[in-house]
Chain A
Amino acid sequence: MSDSKFKNPIVAWIDYRLPVFSFMEHELHEYPTPKNLNYWWNFGSLAGIILVIMIVTGIVLAMHYTAHTAFAFDSVERIMRDVNYGWLIRYVHMNGASAFFIVVFIHIFRGMYFGSYKSPREILWILGVVIMLIMMATAFLGYVLPWGQMSFWGATVITNLFSAIPIVGDSIVTLLWGGFSVDNPTLNRFFSLHYLLPFVLVGIVVLHIVALHQHGSNNPIGIDTKSPQDTIPFHPYYTVKDLFGLGVFLVLFFGFVFFAPNYLGHPDNYIEANPLVTPPHIVPEWYFLPFYAILRSFTADALIYLPISWLMSAKLAGVLAMFASIMVLFILPWLDHSPVRSARFRPLYKQFFWLLVIDCIILGICGAKPAEAPWTYIAQAATAYYFLHFIVILPLLGFFEKTKPLPTSISEPVLKGGGGASSAASAKPMEKA
């Protein structure tokens, strides 16, 4: 104990028995981080902070919320009107969901751009996709709780997706509802699960960080760190950089919370749920729009449906395509087998990456539009391109793309000129020595 690295005797005493301080010291202070991470690397820790904000505000809201169809809407309005600071807490929670998705989407695209999913970080990436899936489930369940019109009809539409499953579909839907329509039993279990899932999320986030710290962060150049010169301790360099990023984020976030709290929401959700009236346009929250567009793209006459029309109904195809659009991310590390990580050294991939970003935005716009021409055709084309990118373009790029020469280390200046001469084979340095 006398040789403890902690000067404070109480800290040393505790650490000798429960090494929490050693752990923090190791993870924060000694943990070597590439020195060249740019601001796109802020979004991971930002997502973690938003998760904490969501859990804290959520626990507080649950102290006032009543999960019963007769009282849910009014209990939310009571939070908005009578509970001390209730409106603030609820608006933070509401807009926090949107912020969470913005941040996580940017985090995911950053991973794609810089090839962060490649060996040895495949499991890190897969855990990330699992996190996104659970986030989507949690967000959907939470949107049902205020029991507005969009809550009710969103729940009806999404649970009905499962009716597309052959033979057992209808039984599954009845099981999910706990009745014959979305009703009180449904609301109750949705509340229970909405409370549970964020803690599951925390568990997976911990695994995500364990996997990250196994080999350390990727970096904008995408080559492995080689010497101590390539790295700096996480604390204080990245803690302070993350805090600055957090400050910028909070300014924007609270701009929404205080001055446009309902901008990202839908007016229909301020009408109490009515099982006998469907709103004219059912639109999911903005973060689901691209997936919603993929779902709606599969109509009986759609070109993309024809090749599989003998196999399944258009309804099932749409549902499967929507799930496949996320599932394809699970195998992304193997679809993209180029040995070079960062798009900086992959001129073709860089262009296809931005095409994919635009494609996703187009899908999002289509998802918000009514299901009529020309939006249906645009959505179908965008859906086709989405899968084309992952299943065809990425594997082919791995074979044919001429990558730029990689620098030998992070610390060394990037070699200028002498571009296209070297082939993918010259990209060997990224492999772990």
Chain B
Amino acid sequence: MASSADKAGDGAHGAEEGETRRDFLMLATGAFGAFGAAAAAWPLIDQMNPAADTLASSSTEVNLEPIKPGQRVLIKWRGKPVFIVRRTKAQIDEARAVKLADLVDPETDEARAKKAEWLIIVGVCTHLGCIPAGTKEGELKGEFGGWFCPCHGSHYDTSGRIRKGPAPKNLPVPAYEFLSDKLVKIG
């Protein structure tokens, strides 16, 4: 190692030559090194994805018994607000009367509500994530009698579909199932 000093070389400044050489060995080493760096970066990025316990986070069961016709309630599921609405006949009819052609994000009400009486939607505006107003009594419900997002003025109808304003999509429907007539499991 150190004895390399003994063989005094005048090639001491042959660096440029060595650097510009692009032979197979250099290429292979560079490729291996780049692969290694990318492989090492992945765990550091993937750790930010939801952890196993977060993914397994439990579903929420909601008792529908106390909800009166026309009433809207807000519950928390996976840290997000979920609207549960017991719709009146008029509201259902209104939602079902809309022509698909009039919709920004065409979707029938039948496809959105497993039981016509119960509308279950995630209460996060598809524009930039605010919670649309309209769930509590006396809040603005927007021009279509559903919800109105105060942040940037998106109007949703009684099926939670976007009708007017900047939001691009309908309020999403979470996975849910009715365990009985009066008990629903969300998630």
* Residue of chain B at shortest CB distance from A409: B8
B13 / chain A contacts, CB cutoff of 8 Å? 228, 232-233
B5 / chain A contacts, CB cutoff of 8 Å? 35-36, 219-221, 410-411
Whether A281 sits at the interface, judged by CB under 8 Å, is no
Q: With A and B bound together, what is the CA distance between A219 and B2 in angstroms? A: 9
**Among listed A7-15, A82-90, A314-322, A324-332, interface-contacting one:** A82-90
**From DSSP, what is the main secondary structure of chain B's interface residues?**
helix
A229/B12 contact (C-beta < 8 A), A39-B1, A56-B44, A89-B43 known: yes
**Among listed B51-59, B83-91, B113-121, B130-138, interface-contacting one:** B51-59
A64 / chain B contacts, CB cutoff of 8 Å? 47, 51
Whether B102 sits at the interface, judged by CB under 8 Å, is no
Q: When the two chains form their complex, are residues A84 and B53 in contact, meaning their CB atoms are under 8 A apart? A: no
B44 / chain A contacts, CB cutoff of 8 Å? 56-57, 60, 85, 89
Whether A412 sits at the interface, judged by CB under 8 Å, is yes
A425 to chain B, nearest CB (A): 24
Interface residues of B in 19-50 (CB under 8 A from A): 19, 33, 42-44, 46-49
Q: When the two chains form their complex, are residues A231 and B12 in contact, meaning their CB atoms are under 8 A apart? A: yes
Q: When the two chains form their complex, are residues A35 and B4 in contact, meaning their CB atoms are under 8 A apart? A: yes
Whether B101 sits at the interface, judged by CB under 8 Å, is no
Whether A237 sits at the interface, judged by CB under 8 Å, is yes
Q: With A and B bound together, what is the CA distance between A81 and B5 in angstroms? A: 52
Q: When the two chains form their complex, are residues B47 and A86 in contact, meaning their CB atoms are under 8 A apart? A: yes
* Residue of chain A at shortest CB distance from B1: A38
Q: Please tell me which one of the listed residues B4, B10, B15, B43 contacts residue A84 in the complex, with CB atoms under 8 A apart.
A: B43
Q: When the two chains form their complex, are residues B47 and A63 in contact, meaning their CB atoms are under 8 A apart? A: yes
Whether A419 sits at the interface, judged by CB under 8 Å, is no
Contact with B along A14-58 (1 / 0, CB 8 A): 000000000000000100000111110000000000000000110
Q: With A and B bound together, what is the CA distance between A36 and B2 in angstroms? A: 5
Q: When the two chains form their complex, are residues B43 and A412 in contact, meaning their CB atoms are under 8 A apart? A: no
* Residue of chain A at shortest CB distance from B4: A36
Q: When the two chains form their complex, are residues B1 and A84 in contact, meaning their CB atoms are under 8 A apart? A: no
B6 to chain A, nearest CB (A): 5
| CB-CB nearest 3 A-B residue pairs | A36-B5, A85-B43, A411-B8
Q: With A and B bound together, what is the CA distance between A89 and B45 in angstroms? A: 11
Q: When the two chains form their complex, are residues A232 and B43 in contact, meaning their CB atoms are under 8 A apart? A: no
Whether A414 sits at the interface, judged by CB under 8 Å, is yes
Q: Please tell me which one of the listed residues B2, B18, B33, B54 contacts residue A236 in the complex, with CB atoms under 8 A apart.
A: B18
* Residue of chain B at shortest CB distance from A241: B1
A82/B15 contact (C-beta < 8 A), A56-B44, A60-B44, A88-B43 known: no
B18 / chain A contacts, CB cutoff of 8 Å? 236
Contact with B along A64-86 (1 / 0, CB 8 A): 10000000000000100111111
A82/B52 contact (C-beta < 8 A), A36-B4, A38-B2 known: yes
List 5 A-B residue pairs with CB atoms under 8 Å apart, sorted by A's residue number: A36-B5, A60-B47, A85-B42, A86-B47, A243-B33
Q: When the two chains form their complex, are residues B15 and A89 in contact, meaning their CB atoms are under 8 A apart? A: no
A408 to chain B, nearest CB (A): 12
Q: With A and B bound together, what is the CA distance between A228 and B8 in angstroms? A: 11
A232/B15 contact (C-beta < 8 A), A78-B51, A411-B8 known: yes
Whether A235 sits at the interface, judged by CB under 8 Å, is yes
Q: When the two chains form their complex, are residues A232 and B52 in contact, meaning their CB atoms are under 8 A apart? A: no
Q: With A and B bound together, what is the CA distance between A82 and B50 in angstroms? A: 9
A60 / chain B contacts, CB cutoff of 8 Å? 44, 47
Q: Which of A29, A235, A410, A411 has the most CB of B within 10 A?
A: A411
Q: Which of B2, B13, B33 has the most CB of A within 10 A?
A: B2
Q: Which of A85, A228, A237 has the most CB of B within 10 A?
A: A85
A352 to chain B, nearest CB (A): 21
Besides the contacts A37-B2, A82-B53, A83-B51, what 5 more A-B pairs have beta carbons closer than 8 Å?
A36-B4, A81-B53, A84-B49, A84-B52, A232-B15
Q: When the two chains form their complex, are residues B4 and A63 in contact, meaning their CB atoms are under 8 A apart? A: no
Whether A307 sits at the interface, judged by CB under 8 Å, is no
Interface residues of A in 80-103 (CB under 8 A from B): 81-86, 88-89
Q: With A and B bound together, what is the CA distance between A56 and B37 in angstroms? A: 13
Q: With A and B bound together, what is the CA distance between A83 and B50 in angstroms? A: 7
A298 to chain B, nearest CB (A): 41
A232/B51 contact (C-beta < 8 A), A38-B2, A84-B43 known: no
Whether A413 sits at the interface, judged by CB under 8 Å, is yes
B43 / chain A contacts, CB cutoff of 8 Å? 84-85, 88-89
* Residue of chain B at shortest CB distance from A57: B44
A413 / chain B contacts, CB cutoff of 8 Å? 6, 8
